[in-house]
Amino acid sequence: MAKTKGLSFNYAIEFVRENYGEEGFKRVLDALSDGDRMILSEKILPVSWRPTKTFSNFLDATEKVLGKKKHNLSREAGRFVAEHALSKFYKVVIRLASPMKVLDRASELWKDFDDTGELQIEKTGPNSAIARIIGHQGGNEANCNHTLGFFERTMEMTGAKNVSIVHTKCIFRGDECCEYIGTWE
């Protein structure tokens, strides 16, 4: 079973509570299965691992209950998770790194948050790259949007400006991998 780091769960939950209050969080929980609700209601240690499917279901329910498709709450949640997790646990690495240096370590960083799938980076120019996630399990489109937001904010935190990332392929839409094409200044 695919697992996601508790840290991601905690910051995604914090995102919902900060923006929609306890009432919003409860509405999202009510939209989930009993099993997912149980996992999300217990204390989740940042270093623990929980089912990726539960994380994906939480993001999807957040979109459906609190968001509008054009608003893309999963992407916003991904930006929030990157901002909080990276500034707290990877502060020195992010502050001292350039976008290209972070890309050099991106595959390692992926493994700190997800236990399935492999992140491969292809640098296509001095200010561009393609990220491919191969073999990720337990996700859904909301999870992919969360990843896109996480990538965007990570690049911005390294000093990149005008970051643009497009999710061009998706394993959950039948493609062989998830692919994100990014450019920045």
Residue 180, class by beta-carbon neighbours within 10 Å (0-12 exposed, 13-18 middle, 19+ buried)? buried
Q: Please determine, for residue 14, whether its predicted confidence score (pLDDT) is greater than 70.
A: yes
- The pTM (predicted TM-score) of the whole model is 0.91
Q: What is the pLDDT of residues 26-45, one digit of tens each?
A: 999 999 999 999 999 999 99
Q: Is residue 133 within 8 Å of 172, Cβ to Cβ?
A: no
Q: What is the pLDDT of residues 61-74, one digit of tens each?
A: 999 999 865 568 89
The average pLDDT across 159-184 equals 95
Residue 20 tokens read as 């929609």
Q: Please determine, for residue 25, whether its predicted confidence score (pLDDT) is greater than 80.
A: yes
Give how far Cα 45 sits from Cα of 5, 36, 139, Å.
Answer: 9, 16, 21
Q: Please determine, for residue 96, whether its predicted confidence score (pLDDT) is greater than 70.
A: no
By residue count, the chain amounts to 185
pLDDT classification of 106: cutoffs 50, 70, 90: confident
Residue 54 tokens read as 């539960």
pLDDT classification of 91: cutoffs 50, 70, 90: low
The average pLDDT across 46-50 equals 96
Q: What is the pLDDT of residues 123-161, one digit of tens each?
A: 999 999 999 999 999 889 999 999 999 999 999 998 899
Residue-level pLDDT at 79 = 95
